[in-house]
Every structure is written in structure tokens, then in C-alpha cells.
Amino acid sequence: MRELTYKDALNEALFQVMKADERVFCIGEDIGVYGGAFGVTAGLIEEFGEERVVDTPISEAGIAGACVGSAVTGMRPVGEIQFMDFVTISMEQLVLQAAKIRFMFGGKATVPMVLRMPGGSGTGAAAQHSESLENWFVHVPGLKVVMPSSPYDAKGLLLAAIEDDNPVIFIEHKLLYKTKGHVPEEMYTVPLSDTKVVREGRDITVVATSIMVNRALEAAEQLAAEGIEVEIIDPRTLNPLDEEPIIRSVIKTGRALIVHEAVKTGGYGGELVSRIMESEAFDYLDAPIRRLAGLDIPIPYNRTLEYHTVPQIESIVSEVKRIVRGEV
């Protein structure tokens, strides 16, 4: 089976869609000759030129604003925010404009834009370059929020996001760029709002996002050796959420653990707990639902402290054991 890295899967998606649709262009800081901070846009400017691969000044508000304006007037922009943390400067354009235009114009105007952003910790980039802010955007009606965890999903979800007539926040974890997986050469899409059962199990449901899916899979292998079978669910699209596979899984296993990197307070895990508790799955629970998330602190620069700030494989293993053994 053909394998690509997560980064190359995204790059291939951009090459293919830009060849297929002249309305698609990329815009962001250092995305041209430099190829993007993490190499996702490498080679695009040589293929498509400066009019479709636009290097911008250091202005995240300008990048987001240009995406909104060009999308409303018929283009399909793919913007890049160099680090997710910097999207804070784009919030007016995203929250007050992009998210509301289609609704306020009764559907007569659409905003088919994608804003890509690398998020998460693990690179030793400290507090201003390591955040996971996805739940800010989940909270805003009108924005779709996508977090692919595999190269296959990265390509398919990006192509689906570019096709969508709504603004899509597309979050790529920095530690996933070098991971490899099966990626078909042809263009394909993964539907937005299509939750995936990544691993079948009988004892507990682990709902994980982004890189935590990979860590949960490794934890599941360790737990299987001890007779604990973990079912792993990846929402892939946080908003709108396809909740039915999650509900069915919890009904089957009777236990649930939510794992994400963002801080626990106000994090996406709280929303998932509420969805489960408000569903028919409540009657099947054999243990309290638990959340495993980042500590409520800025990400430290020190690599050892950074490691212990967010969930790791060993903490997932430990928490699953506690829930399955009835220690919570």
C-alpha cells in the first residue's frame, strides 16, 4: 500500500485541488519560496506562481480577512496561520465575519474558506507556540472544526474542507507531520462530520482527538496484553459532531474516557461527556465518565515539564486501568 507522511498528504491534496480548480489559492506567511513553516506548501509556488501562492506580511488578521473577502466573492482560499497560537489576532475576521455572513445573508452569500493551523505541544516551542485552542472555534456557530489524526484523513478531510461552502478551521498537530500511513494517489474526500471507529474493543470506549488517537492506539496495545480491550473513537470533525458512533460505543462498553491535549477546563471533553450523559448511553454506564486532558497551565519550555503537561501513553494506560478496575 502506498504510504505518505501526514505533511506530504496535505501537500498532495493542495497540489491536486489547485490543478483541478482555479478558484483555489493559498495565502499565508512564508508559504511560498520557504514552503511553509512545516513544509506543507513546498513546491506550490513553483507550480502555480505568486498569484495563487501568496506570501503575506506578518498579519494574521490580514490573512483571515483576505480569506473571508475572497471567499465571499467566489474564490476558495486556503489560508495558513503559522502557529495556532497566532490565530488570536484573527478572531474578529473569523468570529464576527466568516462565521456569520452566510446566516445573515440568508444563504445568498457563502464563505468557502479553509484556515489551516499547526497546533499542539511536543516541539519545545514554549507557551506562545504550543497551544490547543480548538474549543474556542467549536463554540462559534457557523465555523466547522476539523482535526485529522492520520495521513489518510488529513488528505481526505482537507479536500472535503476546500469543497465545503462554509468556513473550516483545519487543525494539524505539529508532531503528526512526520507520521506515515496509507494515502491513495487519487483525489478523495472524507466527509466532514463522520466519526470513525479506529479500533474495536469491549471493555471501555476511549474518545480521542488528533495526536491523542495515536497515543490511545499505542496504549490499547499495551492494555490488550493485560486482557483489557479498548475501543477507540476519533471524531475527526469536532463541529458538526457525528455523535452516534460514540453513543453506540459507550452503550456497548459501558465505560468512557475522553482524551484531548487542550486544557481540561472548558475543553472539548466536557462537551462529549454532556452528549453521552444526555443520550440513551447514560443507562448503560458502569462507571463515571472520565476526562484526561492538558493541565490548566501555559505549556512550559522545559521539555520534561512540557511532557508532563499533556496526556501521554502511560497516563492513558493508567487511567483506563482505574476505570475498568472500578477504582474511580
Active-site residue list: 129
Measured on CA atoms in the order 224, 282, 209, 252, is the torsion positive or negative? Answer: positive
Measured on CA atoms in the order 287, 293, 295, 300, is the torsion positive or negative? Answer: positive
Q: Is 176 within 8 Å of 149 (Cβ atoms)? A: yes
Cell numbers at residue 10, please? 496535505
Q: Is 143 within 8 Å of 239 (Cβ atoms)? A: yes
Q: Can you give the length of the chain in residues?
A: 328
CA triplet 156, 241, 201: central angle to 5 degrees? Answer: 80
Q: Is 132 within 8 Å of 295 (Cβ atoms)? A: no
Element (H, E) at 154: helix 151-163
Q: How far apart are CA 64 and CA 81, in angstroms?
A: 9
Q: Is 306 within 8 Å of 121 (Cβ atoms)? A: yes
